[in-house]
């Protein structure tokens, strides 16, 4: 009877390869020209907070403002829309066409309560900029911090 040496890292490597194959099917893949195509699309977001407002920037290329729906509550922002795009390339007598369709939906919790009646939005060059003014009670909010005495050791 032959002894076979068990190598646990080989088992981990095999599992990692299988997981990579699974995720390769689910995540966007490169279709040429720097474009990505996949099963889902979630716009990238960047949030900054000032004393007066929350600034939110969303990257939504290839869409028009009329295709976007933005709703703001006092403590969250919901954005959804539908992408419809076609990429057509012609090289050396071959024509290649890629279609991308799909709906997206994203809910972003806000760090403070905002005055959702005075939100402003601007969409230019695939970037949606939102200014969400803070609610008055958030601007003037002062929180008393209680300090407990240190316990002697």
CATH number at 118 reads 2.60.40.790
Residue 33 phi, psi (nearest 5): 60, 25
Per-residue pLDDT at 3:
77
Per-residue pLDDT at 129:
94
Residue 19 within any structural domain of the chain? no
Considering its fold, how many domains does the chain have in total? Answer: 1
Residue 29 within any structural domain of the chain? no
State pTM to two decimals.
Answer: 0.59
Residue 148 within any structural domain of the chain? no
Residue 1 within any structural domain of the chain? no
- Give the domain range for residue 76: 42-85+97-139
Residue 123 within any structural domain of the chain? yes
Minimum mean pLDDT range among 16-25, 95-104, 140-149: 140-149
**Cα–Cα distance, 92 to 31 (Å, whole number):** 18
Note the pLDDT tens digit of each residue in 60-84. Answer: 887 888 889 999 988 899 999 887 7
Residues of the chain with pLDDT > 90, as a percent, come to 25
Residue 52 within any structural domain of the chain? yes
Residue 91 within any structural domain of the chain? no
Residue 16 within any structural domain of the chain? no
């Amino acid at each position: 009877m032959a002894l076979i040496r068990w190598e646990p890292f080989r088992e981990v490597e095999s599992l990692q390869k299988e997981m990579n194959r699974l995720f390769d099917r689910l995540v966007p893949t490169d279709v040429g020209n720097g474009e990505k195509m996949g099963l889902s699309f979630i716009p990238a977001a960047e949030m900054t907070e000032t004393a007066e407002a929350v600034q939110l920037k969303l990257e939504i290329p290839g869409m028009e403002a009329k295709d976007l729906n933005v709703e703001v509550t006092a403590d969250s922002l919901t954005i959804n829309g539908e992408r419809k795009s076609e990429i057509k390339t012609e090289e050396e007598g071959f024509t290649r066409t890629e279609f991308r369709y799909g709906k997206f939906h994203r809910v972003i919790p806000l760090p403070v309560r905002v005055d959702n009646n005075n939100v402003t939005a601007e969409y230019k060059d695939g970037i949606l900029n939102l200014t969400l003014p803070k609610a008055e009670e958030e601007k003037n909010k002062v929180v008393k911090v209680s300090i407990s005495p240190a316990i002697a050791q």
